[in-house]
Amino acid sequence: KQEVTQIPAALSVPEGENLVLNCSFTDSAIYNLQWFRQDPGKGLTSLLLIQSSQREQTSGRLNASLDKSSGRSTLYIAASQPGDSATYLCAVSPSTYNTDKLIFGTGTRLQVFP
């Protein structure tokens, strides 16, 4: 059974720091991996999607990497800002049938203070 773990559970950093969020999964047979941002009362927003054949994806200050063989992904946030404060969720798509099904980690709650 696929399990997704995120470390750390919470993180508080001063503005401007570069930071790394970690995600690990137990079964390397994934279709893709996504990173989401969750803001209270606003649902989830997809940040980056990495296909199983890819190694990384970048969007602005965000960079996500995927090492499928070791079951790991990292989300790198450069020059963090208070507006980055949110919960970040990692999710894998575990099968080639129901590929839009996602298995989520429990998230990393990030606070960036001025």
Partner 1 sequence: EAQVTQNPRYLITVTGKKLTVTCSQNMNHEYMSWYRQDPGLGLRQIYYSMNVEVTDKGDVPEGYKVSRKEKRNFPLILESPSPNQTSLYFCASSSGMGANVLTFGAGSRLTVL
Distance CA 65, CA 73 (A): 5
Query: Which residues inside 80-109 make contact with partner 1, applying CB under 8 A?
Result: 89, 91, 98-102, 104-107
CB of 10 vs partner 1, minimal distance in Å: 13
Q: Counting contacts by CB under 8 A, is residue 70 touching partner 1? A: no
Chain centre distance of CA 112: 17
Q: Which is nearer to partner 1, 11 or 49 (CB)?
A: 49
Q: Convert 25-55 to b/e letters by CB count within 10 Å (16 or more is b).
A: beeeebbbbbbbbbeeeeebeebbbbeeeee
CB of 110 vs partner 1, minimal distance in Å: 16
CB of 45 vs partner 1, minimal distance in Å: 8
Q: Name residue 61's amino acid.
A: R
Q: Which is nearer to partner 1, 86 or 102 (CB)?
A: 102
